Structure 1
Amino acid sequence: MIGSGMGGLAAARTIAQFGGKRVLVLEQHYTLGGMTHEFSRAGRYQFGTGLHYISANAGPFLEFMTDGRVQLSPLPDDYDVLHFPGFDFAVPATKERFRARLAERFPAEADAIDGFFRTTRRAMAGLAARNVFASFPAGVRKMGLPIVERLFPSTYRSLWDQVSRSFRDPRLQAVLAARWGLYGIPPASSAFGYHAAVPLTFFMEGTAHPVGGPKELSRIILEILERYGVVLRPRQQVNEIVVERGKVAGVDVEDTGTGRRYRVRTNTVVSAAGVRNTYALIGKSQELADLPGEPSAVMLFLGMDRSPTVFGIRGENHWFMPDLDDHNGFHHPPGEGTLYVSFASLNNPAARFHTVEVLELVDPRAVDQWRGTPAEERPDSYRRLKDDLTRRLIARLEDRWPGFGEAIAFAELATPLSFETYQHSVLGSFYGLAATPQRLRSPRAGCRTPVKGLFVAGQDAWGSGVVGALAGGLMAANAVLKPRQLGTMWRAIRSGGAPPDPATPWHGYLRVAAIETLTPTVRRIRLGPLDTGAMPFSFTAGQYLKVDLPVAVEPIERSYSICSGPGENGFVEIAVKHEPDGLGSTFLHEALEAGQALRVSGPHGEFTCDPPHDLTAGTLLLIAGGVGITPLMSVLVAAADAGHTGRIVLLASFRTEDEVAFRPEIEALRERLPGLEVSIFVTGRKGRIGVDALRAYTEDAYRVHLCGPASMMQDLIGHLTELRVPREAIHTEAFVSGRSKETRQEKSHAIALAAAAAGVTEFTIGIVGGDPAFPCHPGQSVLDAANDADVPLPQSCGEGACGTCRVRVTSGAYETDTRGMFSTDELAAGWRLACQTLPTEDLMIAP
């Protein structure tokens, strides 16, 4: 597979999943995902590169590729606002409302409007038929494509021809011919079939933006591809597709990161690099001479210091047309053509800072004088061009929204040379082959090529945009796979992909529904679904969530215990203590706002408890230190919801009175749990929880849950052992701070550097009892090394929170963090957490 855009990834998945093939994806860029990837600037602004909005219902192709995991945030109902000289028109969601608004605005042509939409359906059907036929072998294509043109003539007409046939009012013609920028060719030259497919069909059910940004699509898809064994390699430049006796024999590749050159032998190559690049790689560029050239683009990326809502913008897209017929299209001088302006940050509830993207399609020859020069060596004239264009584009926005320019904190302009460099497209082509009647009639525009075993995926195999590229990838798979495999593939696509694995934690975005201050240092945060539905997962009392926090360009992951009860299906709550030096807790206390979306995975953890109903079962003893009470509150709520009547003892320790968390909730739970006994220890007044305080509750304690600071847990484990509580009855959980994770990473890096300096490439970990030893790379933990070697060790969280991965180190040196999971005696006996133990020489362990 050449290229990792949506077309390449779609073909990779389907061929691997349904064809049983080993698939290698080679991507020339350093980032996988094609035009769904994002980049950051000024340490805060995130910009998309190609995906601005998609159909609100995602469609079966995208549902399949993401296994239904894509989350979409709808744009406003009037999602496209068109600005013409002298009048504006807002395009509403749904074809019925669009038709009604057109008839209301242009009542004299109401009948013609109905006829036009009937023609649109026919043109769309013709495009689909043409593209499907183009995926068939040469004989079928030669016979079928002329029939398609005869049956669906409107598909092959120019857009301007069709609207001129349909309407007399030039303003109505302009409204229905607008938004050709969604596929790149102006009305006089574009094939009506493409216009019918994109603005007049695909977006007619409403529009949406991916929650988390475009990169969320490729993140999900790449994760799924790994499950199917697809190998993905960035920074791999394919220099030639090797053809022997008319058949594909392989590809010659250069690893641009290392300079290594190599050949991949294969009899099947799918290129998602575009038809022009593909034919260049087989030395047949001349065969495309009859196809018209494509536009490129300039794109202005703006970072704002205030929300665009202050200018009356709600998240809709704005189109600025210089005239009614727009015949010059992308041949206007740069800065004077049709502008498309989108506001991704208003439509992405996970966005923290506001951004705007301004797109103008231009003739790629506008930058010919600088083409071929390295980016770092371009003359001042190129910089002056960019500066001048930036000023002119901002001035057009300022004309519409006075004061807009003053709200801009960052601006950067991309030109056709930028797209040529990063997208690796011919002359910075933005949408692939020009969407013209010539393309529809060309035997070279589609997923088939004259070379046996060579296929094309992506936009050139179907149509423009991310979803068009995805459909093109499926067409390539349609050409590669065997007939019996195709039936299975299309049935799976119609069903929407693989169902979620119930054993796998849920991953996705939740919205911050409410924030409440519990104490001067503790906040309770309620997370709920993006819509008004039920929570997408259930959990057991005592479990925790992992949350990605957007504190910088790359988010940081932190773990927080759930404090709400598992019986609530409309939300989940966490409680977070503000650590002065903690990046994550500082963000959650000082920057988080209600309405923002956070990426969450969960539930995680084995610190769970389901109290029995039997009064004779004994005492459930819950011991908390500070914010360690959080998971125990979930246990208490679960017990109350279940009607538990047995004895539960809560011993909770806090440093001061004003730090006592959940006091009202605990009092309410006393009413619901007749067997609940509570003792609050304020260390400055009543002292710590010691042996004497424990003695009254341990004689019949069948289960102890302990959570708090490491030093407290270490002491209490010793006290409980002294009081003859069985070790297996003591369950612990530690809070893992961001700093502790960073410290482990620093230790790991230092160990790896020291080993490299000493010429050591691996350590050996032996197992008491004669089981085979296994290798450990310097800087690896014992648990990671065991997992790599398929050596089974007990485990759960992998980050030192749960204490499940207990092992006893009998000899050897190491760095470790015990997290308070062991008593002093256990530490002396060598008990350690495998996930936190980093060998510095060979070790012996006893699981």
Structure 2
Amino acid sequence: MILTAQEEADVVVVGSGMGGLAAARMLAQFGRKRVLVLEQHYTLGGMTHEFSREGRYKFGTGLHYMSANAGPFLDFMTDGRVQLWPLPDDYDVLHFPGFDFTVPAGREQFRARLKDRFPGEAEAIDRYFRTVRQAMAGLATRNILSSMPAPVRRLGFPIVERLFPATYRSSRDQMARSFRDPKLRAILAARWGLYGTPPGSNAFGYHAAVPTTFFMAGTAHPVGGPRALNQIVLEILERYGVELRTRQQVQRIVLERGRVAAVEVEDRATGRTYRVRTPAVVSAAGVRNTYALLESAAEPQWKREVANLPAEPSAIMLFLGLDRSPAAFGLHGENHWFMPDLDGHDGFHRQLGDGTLYVSFASLNNPAARHHTVEVVELVDPAAFDQWQGTPDDERPDDYHRLKDALTRRLIDRLDERWPGIRESIAFAELATPLSFETYQRSVRGSFYGLAATPERLRSPLAGARTPVRGLVVAGQDAWGSGVVGALAGGLVAAGAVLRPRQTGAMWRSIFARNPVREPTTTWQGYLRVTEIEALTPTIRKIRLEAMDGGTVPFSFAAGQYLKIDLPVAVEPIERSYSISSGPGAKHHVEIGVKRDPIGLGSTFLHDDLEIGQALRVSGPFGEFTWDPQRDIGGGTLLLIAGGVGITPLVSVLAAAADAGHHGRIVLLAGCRTEDEIPYRQELEQLQARLPGLEVAVFLTQPGAGWQGRRGRIDLEALRPYVAGVTRVHLCGPAPMMQDVLGLLTALEVPRDTLHTEAFVSGRSTQTRRERAHAIAVAAEQAGVTGYTIAERDRSTTFACPPGQTVLDAANAARIPFPQSCGEGACGTCRVRILSGSYETDTRGMFSTEEIDQGWRLACQTLPTEDLVITRGT
């Protein structure tokens, strides 16, 4: 391996699964380390990432459900931002030969249901749950010891096994000790697929921890899917300065004098190889991969110890896209387990396709999902696929693809036997095999849950966070236990093994105090639920959004602000901005107004496809187009001028005035085409009754014969009666209308500093700006131009602007203070006057014709094509 460069980091984290990301955050936050995360895949997040097919179906790769009580670990890791949607109370349905059993949420409910079904075993059931607590305590104690130095592990492991013998027994053994009834044994030994090791060979501590303890408070699914969880974590890591790189294959961990010195890396995107000098490596790549990365530096006894650990299973996973909701088959979002026998003695060694199946319906449990999906998992012995191991995906022979097709048919047959007709609803099907997981995860033989959850693992000094190598620790599932939360816990104990004791103490205190350090922010990001859709006009809808839990909306806003909403119209959502129409005093909902644009992706989705109950990802509030009645103490007239749907933020202003008991003069001039296109008519009537000083005049350009109101456009004569005594003007509407009205108000000598404007940003205009920026960058590169200079008129300030970058972006990059708010041309805050130089721009109707002639432009929309001279100001 020829190295082309050398870098340095305080800690290198190998792998970006939840364990690696958890360790990275803790080391950066509490250890103030420079952390570099290297991920071999092209996507960060490990088993929390998603993939899409056919432009509509989205599938999770490993996270199907989790405890409804996310607990302190996940709450801390997401800064309390994780949003979970509960599964039904009866969340797991177990299908055995001849009978079914439904697992309810809640430990006491589960216990009561078991006693009701098996009254003769009531006392045994109570004893069993006490044993579960003991086994869980034994597992936690052992895992904490695994993060401690070798002498402590050597002394502590045997003591733990003596104190907590149930932790080390197999589930089959524990069930035989606990119960007489084979059906009861089967029910309580089931769901071993949550950690991957069957009852005859697993360690009961893992069984006690995962299906019997973690899920007893109920289960939930991340709103927005696993990716939503991933996004939050990655955003927080960037805030702490963690560097994240994808497609980076770590080839070797380099030791010097018995301790970590560096890692050697191949950049799979470019083929470049480099070395990162570091005193500490946190490997979230699994125990087997970690010791393999040591190559010849690994001691023979370490290799033997790892090789002697029991083999772990892999899985086949069938991803199905449906053309109708699974609810049509009587499903409500619960998971279904199909057990081929009572004892589970065959584990994952049955004929492929005939083993234990887990079936989940993620789209029913994710209110943000637009299209319906089903995921089917069967744990299998990876040896069944050994004959094709090492072959590239696009070169595997026909017999491999024939096997995949046969397995797909077999699994679908089993689903159709249970839910007749579901086969006909399948519009897409794709099967992943152990080779798929090996390719994308780089796990040994496609291991699905890391090391097998066996007593041998519990006894192994190498199966845990600590390693015999100074500076090398293991994170993730192999450091604690299976699943996303288990991997997260493994990342925390790995971080604790690297941090100093005082830093580790601060970390744990902060986690369990449930008051993580949060970055101050003026915006909120998360999901809100659609609870009401109302047609205001033939082309305008009012949409009400509420908190997912039905409580108070998780942010406050000022009258006149807007929200950005991600709309699921394609594989990747598109972001659109919509003004808030409800008043700030409405604490349990927020409303937006949306006009249908026949060729607009966002508005057509909101008009044609949006359904009540759907969750939308929202960020905000944004904008300086605001009015606060508490600060409006100067008297005078508040003049509000709207064109069409531009009335939306002004309705919020009027609601704020009414809630505050405002008695001053307010004038609303609204322009529309026809009478049936007047939005918010009912709201305006109600507001007039609450605001004695409110005057409303509606102007129609195409009035009907019975129209009694004003006719024509809002012109000079229409404005003249209302400008005397005006102290503040809010103007919102189509760009040409705003440009004309700004000129008229200037002609009427309304001071410019009283005028406040807001424009609507469409997806087409945003895309057009990006296309212009790309074209400018390409043209500059062809001309050999590497950048432009932007200078103040007096040359006191200059800064560089790369071709294709806006004036505002260049100023921000150079840390030049600029007034700004939205960054997308909606608010008009970033006014700048161009004195010389050429550029391309979009004024968005924020200026009158005279102001445009004077050179006033929006910095966020202006793309230089040569050096510019500017002035900043109002």
TM range (shorter): over 0.9
1:616, 1:143 → 2: CA distance? Answer: 77
User: 1:742: which partner in 2?
Assistant: 767
2:852 paired with 1:834: no
Map 1:230-241 → 2, pairs under 5 A: 230-241=242-253
Following superposition, the deviation at residue 296 of structure 1 comes to 0.3
2:866 paired with 1:846: no
Query: Secondary structure at the residue paired with 1:836?
Result: coil
User: 1:784: which partner in 2?
Assistant: 809
Contact 2:533 2:612 in 1 (8 A): yes
Query: Secondary structure at the residue paired with 1:705?
Result: strand
2:632, 2:387 → 1: CA distance? Answer: 84
2:631, 2:148 → 1: CA distance? Answer: 66
Please, which moves more after superposition, 125-134 or 777-786? 777-786
Query: Secondary structure at the residue paired with 1:661?
Result: coil
2:523 paired with 1:523: no
User: 2:96: which partner in 1?
Assistant: 84
Per-residue deviation, residues 760-793 of structure 1 (Å, max 9, x unmatched):
2222211222333211111111101111111111
Contact 1:508 1:601 in 2 (8 A): yes
Per-residue deviation, residues 220-272 of structure 1 (Å, max 9, x unmatched):
00000011000000010000011111110110001101111000000100000
> Which one of the candidate residues 673, 677, 684 is aligned to 1:659?
677
Counterpart amino acid of residue 19 in structure 1: G
Map 1:327-366 → 2, pairs under 5 A: 327-366=345-384
Query: Secondary structure at the residue paired with 1:330?
Result: coil
User: 1:607: which partner in 2?
Assistant: 625
> Which one of the candidate residues 260, 268, 276 is aligned to 1:264?
276
Query: Secondary structure at the residue paired with 2:348?
Result: helix
TM-score (norm 1): 0.99
2:646, 2:134 → 1: CA distance? Answer: 64
Per-residue deviation, residues 14-62 of structure 1 (Å, max 9, x unmatched):
0000001000000000000000000000110000000000000101100
Contact 1:63 1:497 in 2 (8 A): no
TM-score (norm 2): 0.96
Counterpart amino acid of residue 348 in structure 1: N
Query: Secondary structure at the residue paired with 1:835?
Result: coil
> Which one of the candidate residues 453, 465, 469 is aligned to 2:487?
469
Contact 1:614 1:646 in 2 (8 A): no
Following superposition, the deviation at residue 725 of structure 1 comes to 1.0
Counterpart amino acid of residue 185 in structure 2: Q
Map 1:219-618 → 2, pairs under 5 A: 219-283=231-295, 284=298, 285-498=303-516, 503-611=521-629, 617-618=635-636
Counterpart amino acid of residue 153 in structure 1: P
1:456, 1:613 → 2: CA distance? Answer: 57
Map 1:670-749 → 2, pairs under 5 A: 670-685=688-703, 686-749=711-774
Contact 1:613 1:645 in 2 (8 A): no
> Which one of the candidate residues 760, 765, 789 is aligned to 2:785?
760
Contact 1:616 1:646 in 2 (8 A): no
Query: Secondary structure at the residue paired with 1:88?
Result: strand
Per-residue deviation, residues 641-681 of structure 1 (Å, max 9, x unmatched):
11111100000000111111111211111111111111100
Following superposition, the deviation at residue 500 of structure 1 comes to 5.0
Following superposition, the deviation at residue 304 of structure 1 comes to 0.4
Distance 1:614 1:592, change over 3 A: closer
1:737, 1:112 → 2: CA distance? Answer: 65
Gaps of 5+ in 2: 1-12, 704-710
Per-residue deviation, residues 296-337 of structure 1 (Å, max 9, x unmatched):
000000000111111111100000001010111111121010
Contact 1:582 1:739 in 2 (8 A): yes
1:549, 1:503 → 2: CA distance? Answer: 23
2:401, 2:521 → 1: CA distance? Answer: 54
- Runs (4 or more) in structure 1 with deviation over 3 Å come to 284-287, 499-503, 611-616
> Which one of the candidate residues 109, 112, 123 is aligned to 1:111?
123
Please, which moves more after superposition, 427-436 or 657-666? 657-666
2:631, 2:495 → 1: CA distance? Answer: 57
1:207, 1:669 → 2: CA distance? Answer: 45
Query: Secondary structure at the residue paired with 1:336?
Result: coil
2:471, 2:690 → 1: CA distance? Answer: 70
User: 1:811: which partner in 2?
Assistant: 836
Per-residue deviation, residues 490-519 of structure 1 (Å, max 9, x unmatched):
111112353655642010000000000000
2:657 paired with 1:639: yes
Per-residue deviation, residues 62-106 of structure 1 (Å, max 9, x unmatched):
000000000000000010000000100000001101111111101
2:861, 2:680 → 1: CA distance? Answer: 32
Contact 2:251 2:266 in 1 (8 A): yes
Following superposition, the deviation at residue 286 of structure 1 comes to 3.8
Following superposition, the deviation at residue 709 of structure 1 comes to 0.7
Map 1:35-54 → 2, pairs under 5 A: 35-54=47-66
Map 1:192-203 → 2, pairs under 5 A: 192-203=204-215
Contact 1:458 1:469 in 2 (8 A): yes
Contact 1:681 1:688 in 2 (8 A): yes
1:526, 1:53 → 2: CA distance? Answer: 28
2:35 paired with 1:23: yes
User: 1:174: which partner in 2?
Assistant: 186
Gaps of 5+ in 1: none
User: 2:45: which partner in 1?
Assistant: 33
2:63, 2:630 → 1: CA distance? Answer: 52
Query: Secondary structure at the residue paired with 2:536?
Result: strand
Contact 1:55 1:208 in 2 (8 A): yes
Distance 1:355 1:130, change over 3 A: same
Query: Secondary structure at the residue paired with 2:649?
Result: helix
User: 1:211: which partner in 2?
Assistant: 223
Contact 2:438 2:446 in 1 (8 A): yes
Counterpart amino acid of residue 163 in structure 1: M
Per-residue deviation, residues 192-214 of structure 1 (Å, max 9, x unmatched):
00000000000111000000000
1:755, 1:608 → 2: CA distance? Answer: 40
Following superposition, the deviation at residue 365 of structure 1 comes to 0.7
User: 2:144: which partner in 1?
Assistant: 132
> Which one of the candidate residues 64, 74, 93 is aligned to 1:62?
74
Aligned-residue sequence identity (percent) comes to 73
Query: Secondary structure at the residue paired with 2:668?
Result: strand
Following superposition, the deviation at residue 569 of structure 1 comes to 0.5
1:500, 1:243 → 2: CA distance? Answer: 37
Distance 1:506 1:321, change over 3 A: same
Counterpart amino acid of residue 789 in structure 2: T
Query: Secondary structure at the residue paired with 2:136?
Result: helix
Query: Secondary structure at the residue paired with 1:196?
Result: helix
2:377, 2:59 → 1: CA distance? Answer: 13
Alignment: residue pair count:
847
Counterpart amino acid of residue 810 in structure 2: A
Contact 1:613 1:644 in 2 (8 A): no
Contact 2:356 2:379 in 1 (8 A): yes
User: 2:4: which partner in 1?
Assistant: none
